[in-house]
Amino acid sequence: MTSKPSPPAQEKKRFQPFQVPPRLLFSPGPTPVPPSVLQAMTKTVLGHLDPVFLHCMDEIKAMLQIVFETANRVTFPVSGTGSAGMEAAVFNAVEAGDDIVVCPMGVFGERLLAIIERTPAHPVIVRGEWGEPIEVSKIEAALQSCRPRALALVHAETSTGVAQRLEGLAELAHKYDALLIVDTVASLSGQPVGVDENQIDICYSGSQKCIGAPPGLAPITFSERALERLRTRRTPVQSWYFDVTGIEKYWGQERTYHHTAPISMNYALHEALRLICEEGLEGRWARHELAHRALVAGLEAMNIQMLVTPEHRAVVVNAVCVPEGVDGARVRARLLEEHNLEVAGGLGQLRGKIWRVGLMGESSRREHLLRLLDALHQVLQAEGYACDSGLAAAEQVYAAS
Ligand SMILES: *Cc1c(COP(=O)(O)O)cnc(C)c1O
């Protein structure tokens, strides 16, 4: 006879408040959250239709337009992480019978494909080598081979450290009457995206990467071309929650309830965006670029290679080859335990072969970068990998700037 397990005895259980160690995150998301952003989350939770909160929403929209570099009217944060942005983009762009060209070159491109495969639309796949961008001629061939309604790809592929060039993609997509969908979860505000300049029709991001808020919101923006496509759909958007027409009734003029906005997360996003606007996009891109160059110089001085050739490297996420004879997982564990620094490991076919260093938002500051290089040197020495320190080379990059 099997007896049903009884629920844990509640009155006897004592839980301590959760203790959080002072980690400094160099993973490609989440990233270190500035104190004022954390403080914003401790403010009184307002009602989701409180006029003061509505004002906060309006400012978030205005600041997102600045960060996306767009005049798009329909620009707001989807409630959910970056993956929610992915689903919102795909679901609103296509319906049954549509072809959609998708270009995976790593884990997140594959996720885009996995999402498309769950829709009634038909994916036309242009798969690239991991560690390289997708060849534009292959994209064009795929667009030509079908009746595409959208072209979807990732800007900075977080699993490989590759940046796909955005220039010219819209002309290509639009020539075949396809919307251009670009995943900028990793890159937005860390390196140029230029939604209007590059004529991206649907562009989404995530709050916890370069934007520097905690995970939980996915900024997204829709061009007029994308909205026109929405208006002429034959069928409703497959997801009620991610249907832009519904969400826009809350974020737009009507102000009708759709779902309860995550109030505190929106406070955090407001403050994170405010800090970005204060720094200025160009200054912020320059800071990220400099940290990236200093990291590469430091690693090269330590005789450590990058996975990606210089012209295809993303600035914000750096794929670093684990040197011969070094146990990559052990090094990461020691960085975390002995130095409170988090670096990510490789995903999928790159598991064990690379470290992924995110230089996103706060982590792309000089003092943090130098601390990472110093700690990495110490750990590698302790692990028996003899190398010079990368500090001088990194400092030189800063000195020359
Ligand atoms: C992190 C990331 C995602 C997924 O975001 P989540 O917040 O983890 O859901 C999607 N695309 C790219 C390029 C990313 O870096």
Give Dmax over CA atoms of the chain in angstroms: 76
**Range list of H helices, 2-43:** 35-40
The CATH code belonging to domain 35-278 is: 3.40.640.10
Closest Cα to atom 3 of ligand 1:
82
Gap from CA of 199 to ligand 1 centroid (Å): 22
Specify the domain boundaries for CATH 3.40.640.10 within the chain: 35-278
Question: Ligand 1: does its nearest atom lie under 6 Å from the Cβ of 199?
Answer: no
d(CA 181, CA 91): 11
Q: What is each CA distance from 207 to 90, 179, 187, 367, in whole angstroms?
A: 19, 24, 11, 23
pLDDT at 3: 78
CA of 186 to the centre of ligand 1 (A): 7
**What pLDDT sits at residue 14?**
85
For tokens 């929610």, what's the residue? 84
pLDDT at 98: 97
- Are residues 173 and 152 in contact, defined by beta-carbon separation less than 8 angstroms? no
Ligand 1 binding pocket mutation candidate from 81, 105, 207 (most atoms within 8 A of CB): 81
Q: Is 121 in the pocket of ligand 1 (CB under 6 A)?
A: no
Give CATH 3.90.1150.10 domain extents, the chain.
280-400
pLDDT of residue 2: 67
Task: Domain 280-400: give its CATH architecture.
Answer: Alpha-Beta Complex (3.90)
30 lines ligand 1 (CB under 6 A): no
pTM, full prediction: 0.97
Q: Is the CB of 31 under 6 A from ligand 1?
A: no
Q: What pLDDT tens digit does each residue of the chain (401 aa) get?
A: 567 888 777 666 789 999 999 999 999 999 999 999 999 999 999 999 999 999 999 999 999 999 999 999 999 999 999 999 999 999 999 999 999 999 999 999 999 999 999 999 999 999 999 999 999 999 999 999 999 999 999 999 999 999 999 999 999 999 999 999 999 999 999 999 999 999 999 999 999 999 999 999 999 999 999 999 999 999 999 999 999 999 999 999 999 999 999 999 999 999 999 999 999 999 999 999 999 999 999 999 999 999 999 999 999 999 999 999 999 999 999 999 999 999 999 999 999 999 999 999 999 999 999 999 999 999 999 999 999 999 999 999 999 99
Mutate which of 153, 154, 181, 185 for ligand 1? The one with the most ligand atoms within 8 Å of its CB, which is 185
Ligand 1 mutation target, pool 27, 78, 79, 83, most atoms within 8 A of CB: 83
Distances (CA, A) of 105 to 31, 112, 145, 387: 23, 11, 20, 32
Cβ 183 under 6 angstroms from ligand 1: yes
Dihedral over Cα of 92, 96, 99, 103: its sign: positive
The confidence score (pLDDT) of residue 8 equals: 73
Question: What residue type is assigned to position 329 of the chain?
Answer: A
